[in-house]
Structure 1
Amino acid sequence: MLTKKEQRLRRAKQTRIRIAKQGTARLTVNRTNLHIYASLISEDGAKVLATASTAEAEVRSQLGGSGKGANVAAAQIIGKRIAEKAKAAGVERVAFDRAGFAYHGRVKALAEAAREAGLQF
């Protein structure tokens, strides 16, 4: 019997293999009960080009205090922020890696906000 985390990682494995074959930068999302994190990883997977998360002090002040990093509004802020950082790093096209999480709620909100901010995937 697999644990919940092992099931999620098993789902993520095939996606990562497929993204590696595409040869594009990868936008990875990780969510916890308190925060949501987004990382932009280079084509070869060797380098993290940009990160954004609700754990950053600047974002926390935007959210108005602590304990508000685990909602859709916070995910939208992170989506917009990672898109801006990606453009600053010279990346326009990415492959969205939801890391085995369902494309729903916070993960979907982050993806849509990144698309609206000009990131293509």
Structure 2
Amino acid sequence: MKYGWLLPGLVLLVSCAAPQVPSPADRAVERWRGKPIARVIDSWGPPSEKQETAEGEVYSWEASAYQASNIPANLAPGTTYAYGPRRELNCRAVFEVDNAGIVTKAEWQGYECYGLP
């Protein structure tokens, strides 16, 4: 058992070194980096919000979806389960644009953005 720590240590090391797979939301926003914001607007429609900054502009789109609650509201044995209310899942795609109108930063915030184009 001198090397009993070796296998757990290797598993931990490999799991930390494994590449992180981008989510669909990551891919939906990252594909616009380096592209003109006009192309994003043509594809996604008008933004929910637009702010001017010293470096350019910030555009954002919001999406929401509803998810049923899977947690029983009553956990007492032998009773009828009444599931909780739906949860609203909101997300926001944010694009920073330079003065030339090119997307320099793209990210999403909130729950996983399944509602983004």
User: With structure 2 as the length reference, what TM-score do the two structures score?
Assistant: 0.25
User: With structure 1 as the length reference, what TM-score do the two structures score?
Assistant: 0.24
Larger Rg: 2
Higher share of residues assigned strand:
2
Higher share of residues assigned helix:
1
